[in-house]
Amino acid sequence: MRILLSLCRLLALTLVVNVEVYASEVSDVFTAKAVKLSPYQQRDFQDEIFYFVLPDRFYNGDKSNDLGAAANDTKRALSRGGFDKTNKGMYHGGDLAGLTEKLPYLDNMGITAIWLTPVLRNQAVQNGSSGYHGYWIVDFSEIDPHLGTNAALKNLIDKAHKRNIKVFFDIITNHTADVIKYKECHSSDGLTWLLEGKNCPFKSLAQLAQGDTYIPFIPKGSENLKTPAWLNSVDVYHNQGDSNWVGESAIRGDFAGLDDVDTNSEQVVKGMIDIYKAIIDEFKPDGFRIDTVKHVNMAFWQSFSPALIAHAKTQGIDNFFMYGEVYSFEPKLLSPFTVEGKLQSVLDFALQGALQQTLVEQKGTDVLAKLFAQDYLYQTSHHDIENTNANQLVNFTGNHDMGRFAYALKESQHNYSESEQIQRNLLAHALLYFSRGVPVIYYGDEQGFVGDGGDQASRQDMMPSKVVSYNDDDLLATDKSTAVDNFDMSHVFYQTFAKYAQLYQQYPALRFGQQTTLYSQDKPGVFAIQRVYSWQGKTQKLVIVFNTAKQAKNLDMITDKSAIKLLYKSTLSTAVDNVDSNIDSNVDDNSIIEPLSFVIYNLK
Ligand SMILES: [Ca+2]
Ligand SMILES: [Ca+2]
Ligand SMILES: [Ca+2]
Ligand SMILES: [Ca+2]
């Protein structure tokens, strides 16, 4: 009860009047017409709800491209093949045509922006697996033939824009496909390892200064594989061997053999800017997600980001937006890439970590409070890009590298029942939507996908799969498996995310509101935030109360003070077993936060 009183006191400081709760107003939320979004050209990044998808794993709209480049296409021979629907490391046939066909499915869930894994032309097969994920680019000027053509991508963007959905590309400046080899490590045809462990140990700058260098070479026949042509010179790469992820090697090492571009060189900075200016000119995307940002030197970003934002404006894309992947879980490691690096935003790995700690590991809600208390680190203003702040961070629960949140829940030492996994998953997503930052749904999460871990194990097919290790998964909240089509618009996760999207668009404070923590505790339980937003002479103040405990929590300030109006109360989608619902029956229902649930109040 001390919790509740503290919260009351905090609330009492901020407000006042006597507002009653009308049940009918609560139900209005459910029946409200879809809120009309601003046109995509003018819409703010903070208005978006993202869907992150690997096109190869989504839907096969064109079976004629499953093998990639045509057999007689000698120019693109290395972009042919790698198709095997039974192998999780190979192409599965999904493509841009399939994604275009499924736009209504995304639209109905309230998705307003799509983030595609890289779609530029890849080396199809490399070290025994394939480039189905898109991160092994050889040609930065055209679309991979497995996914379609440049025209197919333009068609996707055109159809998405007609639905007022934005399209963001995943781009890479850190590396290209693995073409360059080292004489000390590889045979002259590049196919055989000379060293134990299939690794070329990193050589530091100090070693290079002593003459201890690798001799890089391009195997015969591969001299002109890359486009643009300047990428075919070994001189534009670091050539220091494989990264061991620490110190100098984090920036200058090869990412498991992928040719690490010398982003310290002015020629490379200009070359990469020109590559992506051309992409903007040709396709007019709404923004970029940038891969492997922390493996590139900060000075590169300081040039790259303002140059592309300015260029996009010349192409009529005024709200062009870029967010980076900095694989770190501390705000003090993430924020320099916005504050110093001039990227507008980064993926909020720190929030992902906090969600895992609170909802998987059952740490206290103070973990969230401590995270958000560091939001000031992102606050800055640059003359050459828009101001950045924590409201623009990109929220996610899991991804194609670390695996799905559902997998973390399944593997938890707490042995959660399926119904509890469902409820924890939905609450994690509520925190994505209703905390500061822009939510991302990882494709398949809305269908209860779980997976066996990260990387390939988390990249299941939405179309019927032939991968045994996918099809034996027990999906959440459905009897289906991944062996069948999973575009089920009645799935409880899909339905719930659609409802979250409606709330998100209906209340501007959920998108733009300045966030303050009202209450947290050092164990699972209440986490209460306030979000305040003023526009056009109006002010909206919302209080969102999350309950991460398996016991209901009772907020008696509603019955006592009536200063807040209930806007939305999450319902237990399925009964959570093992929960203690020992609630005083005299208490007004609107002041109860069910176990693993949340409530949104309007603060007058
Ligand atoms: Ca296909
Ligand atoms: Ca290489
Ligand atoms: Ca690098
Ligand atoms: Ca499995």
pLDDT for 224-276, tens place per residue?
Answer: 999 999 999 999 999 999 999 999 999 999 999 999 999 999 999 999 999 99
The ranges of the chain with pLDDT < 70 are 1-34, 382-386, 556-562, 572-590
**What is the residue whose two structure tokens read 């879809």?**
34
Last residue of a domain, which of 245, 271, 301? 245
**Residue 225's domain spans which residues?**
180-245
Query: From CA 167, how far away is CA 149, in angstroms rounded?
Result: 16
Torsional class of 544: left (φ above 0), alpha (ψ -120 to 50), beta (otherwise):
beta
Question: Which pLDDT belongs to residue 384?
Answer: 64
Question: Which pLDDT belongs to residue 559?
Answer: 46
Query: From CA 194, how far away is CA 47, in angstroms rounded?
Result: 53
Report DSSP letters for 67-128, one per residue.
TBS-TT-GGGGGGB--B-TT-TTSB----HHHHHHTHHHHHHTT--EEEEPP-EEE-SEETT
C-beta neighbour count of 374 within 10 angstroms:
15
Catalytic pick from 291, 420, 446, 594? 291
Last residue of a domain, which of 245, 274, 297? 245
Position 240 in a domain? yes
Q: In this structure, what CATH number is given to the domain that contains residue 26?
A: 2.60.40.1180
Cβ neighbours for 221, distance < 8 A, ≥ 6 positions apart: none
Q: pTM of this prediction?
A: 0.92
Query: From CA 454, how far away is CA 407, in angstroms rounded?
Result: 9
**What is the residue whose two structure tokens read 């140059």?**
307
C-beta neighbour count of 22 within 10 angstroms:
11
How far is ligand 4, taken at its centre, from the CA of residue 85, in Å?
15
How far is ligand 2, taken at its centre, from the CA of residue 71, in Å?
26
Ligand index nearest the alpha carbon of residue 58: 1
**What is the residue whose two structure tokens read 């990260």?**
454
Q: Are 97 and 62 in contact (CB under 8 A)?
A: yes
Position 559 in a domain? yes
How far is ligand 4, taken at its centre, from the CA of residue 93, in Å?
21
Position 39 in a domain? no
Question: Which pLDDT belongs to residue 381?
Answer: 73
Q: Are 443 and 51 in contact (CB under 8 A)?
A: yes
Position 202 in a domain? yes
Question: Which pLDDT belongs to residue 161?
Answer: 98
How far is ligand 3, taken at its centre, from the CA of residue 295, in Å?
4
Phi, psi of 115 (to 5 degrees): -115, 115
C-alpha closest to that of 341 among 286, 374, 385: 385
Query: From CA 541, how far away is CA 533, in angstroms rounded?
Result: 7
Query: From CA 304, how far away is CA 273, in angstroms rounded?
Result: 6
Query: From CA 231, how far away is CA 271, in angstroms rounded?
Result: 9
Ligand index nearest the alpha carbon of residue 180: 2
In angstroms, the Cα distances linking 15 to 9, 381, 507 are: 10, 31, 19
Ligand index nearest the alpha carbon of residue 242: 2
Catalytic pick from 325, 445, 446, 594? 325
- For the question of residue 291 being annotated catalytic, the response is yes
Position 64 in a domain? no
Q: Are 397 and 377 in contact (CB under 8 A)?
A: no
Question: Which pLDDT belongs to residue 588?
Answer: 55
Position 117 in a domain? no
Query: From CA 123, how far away is CA 135, in angstroms rounded?
Result: 9
How far is ligand 1, taken at its centre, from the CA of residue 231, in Å?
29
Q: Are 529 and 367 in contact (CB under 8 A)?
A: no
Question: Which pLDDT belongs to residue 572?
Answer: 61
How far is ligand 3, taken at its centre, from the CA of residue 326, in Å?
13
Q: How many separate domains does the chain show?
A: 2
How far is ligand 1, taken at its centre, from the CA of residue 148, in Å?
8
Q: Are 177 and 123 in contact (CB under 8 A)?
A: yes
Distance of CA 65 to the CA centre of its chain: 27
Ligand index nearest the alpha carbon of residue 226: 2
Q: Which residues keep their CB under 5 angstroms from ion ligand 2?
A: 178, 180, 257, 259
How far is ligand 4, taken at its centre, from the CA of residue 467, in Å?
9
Ligand index nearest the alpha carbon of residue 404: 4
In angstroms, the Cα distances linking 571 to 362, 422, 560, 575, 598 are: 21, 12, 23, 10, 9
Query: From CA 253, how far away is CA 297, in angstroms rounded?
Result: 12
Position 449 in a domain? no
Position 332 in a domain? no
Last residue of a domain, which of 190, 222, 245? 245
